[in-house]
Amino acid sequence: MAQPPDSSKPGNDRITLTEVAGHAGVSRSTVSLVLRGSPLVAAETRERVQAAMAALGYIYNRGAATLRAARTQTIGLLVCELNNPFYAELTAGVDDVLDAEGFVAFIANTAEQPERQERFLQRMREHNVDGVILCPAAGTPYDLLERLDRWRLPCVQSLRFLSDRGRDYAGVDYQAGVETVVDHLVSLGHSRIAFVGGMLDHSAYAARHAGFIAAMRRHGLADDLVLRCPLTRRSGAEVADDLLHRPQAPTAALCYNDVVALGLMLGLEALGLRAGRDLAVTGFDDVPEAALSRPALTTVATSARQIGQEAARLLLRRIADPQGPPERIILPSRLVVRQSCGAPTHSTHHRDLS
């Protein structure tokens, strides 16, 4: 209460490069070279400088460096729904790669709101990030990519894209994944298959829908049973009744993702029905709970963490070489057959655990 708050002036005691230089008996410039690992400086000098840095507790001031140099070793990561475990896993993958390269990421949850996304991008520019990884929010204006170009801000799109022509992208082959599911359902004897879920328009929806259409046509089946609904358990459950009480009720429901599929299964149960017996149900993503539900959910596994890693690698490459050829990395997905599609399985005791 009586102590003067003078001593708390922020940052007044920070060691600078000049002080390190004084302590080591060399010039500022030499210390700077050591800092950046230049081969120009003699081994003996380097050691002396490093000792001085350690002795004084020197902390590199990246902000000061940024003012003169071009790079900040910093990127922005914009995801559309951070609370979705899938994106959390992706973020962890990004972090894996960045950590190894000495980069750090600003995180932002755009919550599917383009204006929030826009605000965050401006903020990233103010902070001078070297680039961004972007999962574009639904409704993102189409000129965003050109604006990023004009800003000279390297960008890797992930999971979704506004346009991937001539641009870096890391994602999953949604279309092939959905086609595999259709093929599997058809092989089990289904011909009336519904595509369920997905409300917002973006490339990830378009790709899955295209996969559905393509596979159904390939098998000569009707491809017009498409029910759009929000990606929540609740709406998945609500769709059950609607689905079964139409003139030509489907015998299988291929859901946009696991969340909707799990909801649909609950909805069936509430009607006294059972997935896999009364209606084949499949999901997409292979979230942990998919293995856990009863019946366990047939779904498509996508490796979120790996996608994050690839996206980060692509961005670092793009930052290092802005002129290089664009790359698209499309990871395969994998069909995981469980009980919800009614396929014969061997034993309920051999469930996969995490």
Partner DNA sequence: TTGCGTATTTGGATCGATCCAATTAGCTTG
Partner DNA sequence: CAAGCTAATTGGATCGATCCAAATACGCAA
Q: Measured between alpha carbons, how far is 145 from 29 in angstroms, rounded to an integer?
A: 40
Q: Confirm if 338 and 173 have CB atoms less than 8 A apart.
A: no
Q: Is the CB of 200 or the CB of 210 nearer to a second copy?
A: 200
Residue 88 in the binding site for a second copy (CB under 8 A): yes
Return the ∠ at Cα 299 (arms to 296 and 302), rounded to 5°. Answer: 130
Which residues does 332 contact at the CB level (< 8 Å), separation at least 6? 172, 173, 176
Q: Confirm if 283 and 290 have CB atoms less than 8 A apart.
A: yes
- Residues 224-263, one symbol each (x = binds a second copy by CB under 8 A, - = not), give --------xxx--x------------------------xx
DSSP-assigned beta bridge partners for residue 300: 335
Minimum separation from the CB atom of position 213 to a second copy (A): 30
Q: Stretches 47-55, 86-94, 215-223, 329-337: which one binds a second copy (CB under 8 A)?
A: 86-94
Contact positions with DNA (CB under 7 A) in 125-154: none
Q: Stretches 9-17, 168-176, 230-238, 318-326: which one binds DNA (CB under 7 A)?
A: 9-17
Contact positions with a second copy (CB under 8 A) in 173-192: none
Which residues does 349 contact at the CB level (< 8 Å), separation at least 6? none
Q: Stretches 38-46, 156-164, 179-187, 287-295: which one binds a second copy (CB under 8 A)?
A: 287-295
Q: Measured between alpha carbons, how far is 312 from 133 in angstroms, rounded to an integer?
A: 7
Q: Is the CB of 36 or the CB of 192 nearer to DNA?
A: 36
* Candidate list 28, 48, 62, 219; residue touching a second copy; CB under 8 A: 62
DSSP-assigned beta bridge partners for residue 266: none
Q: Measured between alpha carbons, how far is 284 from 259 in angstroms, rounded to an integer?
A: 8
Residue 28 binds which one of DNA, a second copy, none, with CB within 5 to 8 A depending on kind? DNA
Residue 26 binds which one of DNA, a second copy, none, with CB within 5 to 8 A depending on kind? DNA
The size of the interface with a second copy (CB under 8 A), counted in residues, is 68
Q: Stretches 41-49, 141-149, 154-162, 175-183: which one binds DNA (CB under 7 A)?
A: 41-49
Look at residue 78 and give its three-state secondary structure. Answer: strand
CA distances from 240 to 228, 259, 269, 294 (A): 13, 14, 9, 17
* Candidate list 54, 55, 69, 222; residue touching DNA; CB under 7 A: 69
Q: Measured between alpha carbons, how far is 292 from 348 in angstroms, rounded to an integer?
A: 11
Residue 339 binds which one of DNA, a second copy, none, with CB within 5 to 8 A depending on kind? none
Distance, first Cα to last Cα, the chain: 54
Candidates 260, 258, 278; CA nearest to 268 is 278
Q: Is 309 exposed, middle or buried (0-12, 13-18, 19+ CB in 10 A)?
A: buried
Contact positions with a second copy (CB under 8 A) in 93-152: 95-96, 99, 102, 104-109, 116, 119-120, 122-128, 152
Q: Measured between alpha carbons, how far is 195 from 176 in angstroms, rounded to an integer?
A: 15
Helices and strands counted in the chain (H then E):
12, 12
Residue 325 in the binding site for a second copy (CB under 8 A): no
Q: Stretches 21-29, 139-147, 206-214, 334-342: which one binds DNA (CB under 7 A)?
A: 21-29
Return the ∠ at Cα 211 (arms to 259 and 287), rounded to 5°. Answer: 25
Residue 17 binds which one of DNA, a second copy, none, with CB within 5 to 8 A depending on kind? DNA
Q: Is the CB of 163 or the CB of 232 nearer to a second copy?
A: 232
Residues that bind a second copy (CB under 8 A): 5, 8, 10-11, 59-64, 66-67, 70, 72, 74, 77, 82-85, 87-89, 91-92, 95-96, 99, 102, 104-109, 116, 119-120, 122-128, 152, 232-234, 237, 262-263, 266, 269-270, 288-289, 292-294, 305, 322-323, 348-349, 351, 353-354
